[in-house]
Amino acid sequence: MPKQKTALAFDIGGTKIAWGIVTEEGEVTKHGRVETPHEKDEFLAAIDKIVRAHPADAVGIGMAGTFDSNHKTLLVSPNAPGLRDIPLHDFVTELANVPVALDNDARCALIGEVWKGGAQDTSSAVLITLGTGVGGAVMQRQIVLSHPNDISQEISHIVADTSDLFPAISGRGTIEAMIGGRNLEKRFECSLAELSTAARKHDKDALEIWDIIAYYFSECVQAIYSTYSCKLILVGGRGAHDLEFYMEGEMPCPIAAATLGEQAALVGAARLAFDAIENVEAEVARGWDE
């Protein structure tokens, strides 16, 4: 029986670099995380250290941000402004000498959910990742759409409430402004982790703040549904853990936590890495045929 291939998968956000070794069956056998450096040299050094320590048959990287059309260069990372114009694909390819796949973290998370999670049985779904910021990916007619090359076209930039006046880089009233973790913490001057802990202890002040956040969330869900007419909205990232506090009132379609939880993007990035192996093998086979 041939040895099962493995992929080193990354899920990189504004606050953490999560990594995992993933099998061809989608099982995460080893994982860890470090803080995300916001300076280019320190960031690449952190990636270098992890890649060298965990050799695999391929590397898949899901990262919050916008990439060029060839999925090789990180153009901009909204929650880490110092990380821009980084040729991440070529850097890791030269370092690991194996096939490498690179895509937006939310798209990776949805691919993971389609492969091994809660989106296996639907043809139309939207996944939003709630963390430092808000990421998003769309599946229509069983195809996970490509991530936009223009950051202004991301789901997080959809305007959900034209009356909201909170200033945010993504624009006033956008989904990012209303439910992005960093923006919520600025609005309420406390961390979401602290709010979550306090709410579970039935703290009245924390529950009142969550009521406001739940209203913001419902407005964002309606905006997403109006845009994509989706049959399901999955919530990934840190927000999946606190989804009970985000939910309020009737929703236009089912809302569920990503089945794979915080590992959704890792599993999706691994799936892309295995696809990269298959692409290389197919090119080699074509070369032999010619």
In a domain, 290, yes or no: no
In a domain, 63, yes or no: yes
Same structural domain, 143 and 216: yes
Burial 147-183 (b: 16+ CB within 10 A, else e): beeebeebbbbbebbeebeeebbbbebbbbbbbbbbb
Same structural domain, 174 and 125: yes
How many Cα atoms occupy the beta-carbon half-sphere of 174 within 13 Å? 21
Same structural domain, 124 and 250: yes
Same structural domain, 138 and 251: yes
In a domain, 270, yes or no: no
Intra-chain end-to-end CA distance of the chain, in Å? 30
Domain boundary among 104, 135, 152: 104
Same structural domain, 138 and 175: yes
Same structural domain, 247 and 142: yes
How many angstroms separate the CA atoms of 134 and 103, rounded? 16
Same structural domain, 132 and 83: no
The total domain count for the chain is 2
Same structural domain, 25 and 126: no
Identify the burial level of 25 via C-beta atoms within 10 angstroms of its C-beta, where 0-12 means exposed, 13-18 middle and 19 or more buried: exposed
Cβ atoms of 60 and 20 closer than 8 Å: no
Burial 71-110 (b: 16+ CB within 10 A, else e): bbbbeebbbbeebeebebbebbbeebebbbbbbbbbbbbb
Cβ atoms of 117 and 135 closer than 8 Å: no
Convert the pLDDT of each residue in 228-266 to its tens digit.
999 999 998 888 899 999 998 899 999 999 999 889 999
Domain enclosing residue 18, as ranges = 6-104
In a domain, 77, yes or no: yes
Which CATH number characterizes residue 200's domain?
3.30.420.40
Convert the pLDDT of each residue in 216-238 to its tens digit.
999 999 999 999 999 999 998 88
Same structural domain, 54 and 128: no
Same structural domain, 26 and 136: no
How many angstroms separate the CA atoms of 21 and 42, rounded? 23
Convert the pLDDT of each residue in 165-218 to its tens digit.
999 988 999 999 999 999 999 999 999 999 999 999 999 999 999 999 999 999
Convert the pLDDT of each residue in 46-79 to its tens digit.
999 999 999 999 999 999 888 888 889 998 887 7
